[in-house]
Amino acid sequence: MSLFLAVVLQLCLAALLASGALCLYRMLLGPRSADRAVAFDSLAAVFIAIICVLCIRWNSTLYFDAVWILMLVGFLGSAAIALYLEKGRIF
């Protein structure tokens, strides 16, 4: 791995962490559960991106499967929250 790529990846990691902090801040701020659900959705995206970047950084595909698993779990979570908000129950 070239030094150039390593620096870029560190930069990306920092930006992703900043974005995750912003999402967390919105999650704390609310003001209503819908805002928190949206923030949760983007936090899942941030996690996925962090995993990808770390995979490249560590030069290992060990955690690459976590990407699409997290995607599915994030989707199910969002769908469940949406159903709960709309109907007051999930099933």
Partner 1 sequence: MPIVIDALVAVLCLAGTALILLTGIGLIRFPDVYCRMHAAGKAGTLGVVFVVVGATVHFAGTDQDVWVRGLLAVFFQFLTAPAATHLLARAVYVCDYPPTAVTAVDELREYLAPPSGAELLAITEREESKMLTRILVGLDNTASTDIAVRQAIEVAQRHRAQLTGIAVVDTRALERIGPIPIGGSHYAKRLREYRLGAAKIESDGAIARFESACNAAGLGYEAKQLTGDPFDTFAAQARYHDLTVLGMQFLFYHGVIAEPRNPLGRLMKRGMRPIIAVAPASRGIHQVLIAYNGSVEATMAMKQFVQLCPWPDVSADLVWCGEADYDARELLTEASAYCRSHGLAVEVGDAPASGRDALLDYATRRDTDLLVIGNSTRDFFGSFLGDLPGKAKETDRLSLFLNQ
**Residues engaged in binding partner 1 (CB under 8 A):** 1-2, 4-5, 8-9, 11-12, 15-16, 18-23, 25-26, 32, 34-35, 37-39, 41-42, 45-46, 48-49, 52-53, 55-56, 61, 64-65, 67-68, 71-72, 74-75, 78-79, 81-86
Phi and psi, residue 62, nearest 5°? -60, -40
Sequence-distant (≥ 6) Cβ neighbours of residue 41 within 8 angstroms = 74, 77, 78
Closest approach of Cβ 41 to partner 1, in Å?
6
Closest approach of Cβ 73 to partner 1, in Å?
10
HSE of 46, CA atoms in CB hemisphere, 13 A: 18
Closest approach of Cβ 91 to partner 1, in Å?
15
Residue that the structure tokens 């997290």 belong to: 70
**Judged by CB, which is closer to partner 1: 86, or 91?**
86
By the 8 A CB rule, do 23 and 43 touch? yes
